[in-house]
Every structure is written in C-alpha cells, then in structure tokens.
C-alpha cells in the first residue's frame, strides 16, 4: 500500500484528496515565489555589482512616478486576488469538514490520559480502536475526562481537539479498507506519545457482523437504567403535575428558557443540563434539579444522552432511533400537560 518514498500518508477519506490538493497548491505557489525572489536577488547581485571601473549599469533610484504607481498596483492587486482565492478554497474545504452529513453514524469518544475510549450507539466499547464501515459518514462526539487531547487520523486528514467539559465533533467518510493510525496530537503528559490507536475500516457487511458480536445492551438501554437508578424518572414524567419537563422528543428540539431565550437541545445542552441544571433553566419549572456531576462520569452522561435521543416525540419508543435533525419539534416542555397520557409514560421503572 505504501510506496518507498511517500511525502504524505495514504489518502483514505473523502476529504483527503481535497485537503492534499490545497496543500500541494500552497506548497507549489510558495516554491514558485521563493524561486522568483531568489532568482531576482542573484540577477541583481550580478548585474548591479559594485565595480572598480565604471563600465556597466549601476544601481540607482527609480524616479519615474508613473512606473512606480503601476508596480504598486500590480503588487497589491495580484497577491490580493491570489490570497482571496486561497481563502475561498480553504473555507470551502473547512466548511465541508466541519458540517457532518445528516445520515452520519454517531460514535462517542472519551479521551483520558492516556487512552482513547470509544463507544457505539449499540453499546460496543473499544479502547484505542475504532471500527467503522467504509463509504459511510461517521460523526464522532468527543470529550475528555482530564486534559486537552487531540484526535488525529493522518490518513483521513482530520484532527480535532478533545476538550474537558464540552463536546467537540469531527466527521469523516473512509474510502478504503484497512487499519489507519490514530494519534493524540496535543501534548497531554508523560505518555502522550503512547496515546495511540487505530481506525479499522471494514466492509459494511463485515462491520454489521462485528457490531453483532458485542455483548450487553445498547447505550440507550444503559442510559435508561441510569435514568431509573438515579431517580430522574421521579420528576421527568409525562404528567401535568410533573416537577420536571418530560424528555420525549427533546433531542434536537427547541427549548424555551426562563429568561425568554431559546436553545436547541443538542448533546452539549443535555450534558450541561445534567451536570449544571441551573445554567439553562427551562421555562415553567422550578430550579430544583440537583447536579449529577459527582455521580456520573463522561461515559454515564453519554449513555443518558443516548437514552434521551432514543425517545422520539410520538409513537413507540424504538431504541436508539434519534429523531431526524430539523424534524417536527416536540411540544415545549411547558405544554406537557396537553399531551395525552402515553402508554410509555411509566418507562424508566421508578414509581
């Protein structure tokens, strides 16, 4: 696969050729400009060299103002057009890389000194490994348990910092089967250089059977158990008198807050509301929810989020079936009293 002399790693994702094209263009233009400048330096050094006898041209001040004006316009206009072109090109590639496609498979990543922990929605956990199917966009929702790390897959040309206390995302679509290096690209302590792993890209069918080999329940099921164990279900019920908003159809919907503003219930909002419930108080409810920061690790929070995502606005609760982004928003929590009693209202297992 790899050639004896290779400037860059193999291209193994859909964005890799686009990143490389931009990189080669920047290198090429830098080489051209450098050669031109060095060439002119040598030419002038020889042609206008200091002579003992006056026999050739001597360096002097250019005094034709029309000439200098034309030169100024040229050296402002030409680089401006080139740089704006590079900016536009780079911005297009960046925009593609920062916007995961809607149909992307979500995988959760937790970095800690010094390992990568990954978990699939189906519950399969991995350490320093990530199995993904070829030809399908994969979105990573990532956080750190301690310090800043950086998730870097050279063959995919993607890198994203992984920060404690918040979620960052990264997406890629692998284009070839095989194993690819995963590195931590942010110095994070003595064993930073050992915080490595591999991305295993498989045929979709092989990936499906790999997923089937996992034991235990899905992330949503684990989250549902936590939801009951922690007593969340005592307040977050689908009843008019419930002390907390019910969470059906919450993920991806807009939530009205006490201060009149609205937020979209994405992963970061849910995480903050579990760990620091008063940061964004939902309109119509008392600020009585305690923090669960001491009872949940990052992985526990991700399981709760997977459970909340798995509960669609209406209909039967198909596990792990997240509502489509931008789909019909759920009724605002304050309207919970209008919702008809739901057969699944008792799920969560608590009285």
Q: Which residues bind ligand CUA (CB under 6 A)?
A: 111, 114, 149, 184, 186-188, 192, 195
- Give 238 or 298: the residue with its C-beta nearer to ligand CUA: 298
* Integer CA distances (angstroms), 39 to 15, 32, 34, 43, 99, in order: 36, 10, 8, 6, 43
Tokens describing residue 163: 């920060």
Structural Rg of the chain based on CA atoms: 28
Percentages (nearest 5) of helix, strand, coil residues in the chain: 35, 20, 40
* Least distance in angstroms from the C-beta of 160 to ligand CUA: 13
- Give 128 or 281: the residue with its C-beta nearer to ligand CUA: 128
* Least distance in angstroms from the C-beta of 192 to ligand CUA: 4
Please provide the distance, in angstroms rounded to a whole number, between the alpha carbons at the two ends of the chain. Answer: 59
- Give 153 or 184: the residue with its C-beta nearer to ligand CUA: 184
Task: Give the residue from 134, 139, 143, 177 showing the smallest Cα distance to 158.
Answer: 139
Measured N-to-C along each axis, helices 298-309 and 267-275 cross at an angle, to the nearest 10 degrees, of: 120
Measured N-to-C along each axis, helices 65-98 and 16-47 cross at an angle, to the nearest 10 degrees, of: 160
* Least distance in angstroms from the C-beta of 272 to ligand CUA: 24
Q: What angle do CA 148, 149, 154 make, to 5 degrees?
A: 150
CA gap 274, 296 in Å, rounded: 9
- Give 114 or 251: the residue with its C-beta nearer to ligand CUA: 114
Ramachandran bin of 231, using left for φ above 0, alpha for ψ from -120 to 50, beta for the remaining angles:
left
* Integer CA distances (angstroms), 325 to 79, 139, 150, 252, 282, in order: 42, 14, 27, 6, 21
- Give 156 or 207: the residue with its C-beta nearer to ligand CUA: 156
* Least distance in angstroms from the C-beta of 282 to ligand CUA: 36
* Least distance in angstroms from the C-beta of 113 to ligand CUA: 6
- Give 192 or 311: the residue with its C-beta nearer to ligand CUA: 192
- Give 11 or 128: the residue with its C-beta nearer to ligand CUA: 128
- Give 192 or 248: the residue with its C-beta nearer to ligand CUA: 192
Would you call the peptide bond into 114 cis, given omega within 30 degrees of 0 as the criterion? yes
CA gap 264, 210 in Å, rounded: 34
């Amino acid at each position: 696969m790899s050639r004896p002399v290779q400037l860059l790693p193999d291209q193994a994702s859909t964005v890799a050729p686009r990143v490389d094209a931009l990189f080669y263009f920047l290198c090429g233009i830098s080489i051209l400009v450098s050669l031109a400048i060095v060439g002119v330096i040598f030419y002038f050094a020889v042609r206008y060299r200091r002579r003992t006898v006056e026999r050739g041209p001597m360096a002097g001040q250019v005094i034709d103002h029309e000439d200098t004006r034309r030169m100024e316009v040229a050296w402002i206009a030409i680089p401006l057009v080139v740089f704006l072109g590079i900016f536009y090109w780079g911005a297009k590639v960046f925009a593609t890389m920062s916007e995961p496609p809607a149909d992307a498979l979500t995988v959760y990543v937790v970095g800690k000194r010094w390992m990568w922990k990954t978990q699939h929605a189906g519950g399969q956990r991995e350490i320093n490994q990530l199995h993904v199917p070829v030809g399908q966009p994969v979105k990573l929702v990532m956080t750190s348990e301690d310090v800043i790390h950086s998730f870097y897959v050279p063959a995919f040309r993607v890198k994203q910092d992984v920060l404690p206390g918040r979620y960052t995302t990264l997406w890629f679509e692998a284009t070839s089967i095989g194993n690819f290096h995963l590195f931590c690209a942010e110095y994070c302590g003595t064993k930073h250089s050992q915080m490595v792993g591999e991305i295993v890209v498989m045929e979709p069918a092989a990936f499906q059977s790999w997923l089937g080999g996992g034991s235990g329940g899905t992330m949503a099921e684990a989250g549902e158990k936590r939801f009951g164990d922690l007593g969340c279900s005592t307040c977050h019920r689908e009843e008019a008198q419930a002390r907390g908003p019910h969470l059906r159809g919450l993920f991806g919907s807009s939530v009205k807050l006490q201060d009149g503003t609205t937020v979209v219930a994405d992963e970061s909002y849910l995480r903050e509301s579990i760990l620091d419930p008063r940061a964004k108080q939902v309109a119509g409810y008392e600020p009585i929810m305690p923090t669960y920061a001491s009872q949940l690790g990052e992985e526990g929070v991700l399981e709760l989020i997977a459970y909340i995502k798995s509960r669609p606005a209406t209909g039967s609760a198909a596990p792990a079936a997240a509502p489509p982004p931008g789909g019909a928003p759920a009724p605002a929590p304050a309207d919970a009293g209008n919702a008809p009693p739901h057969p699944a209202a008792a799920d969560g297992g608590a009285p």
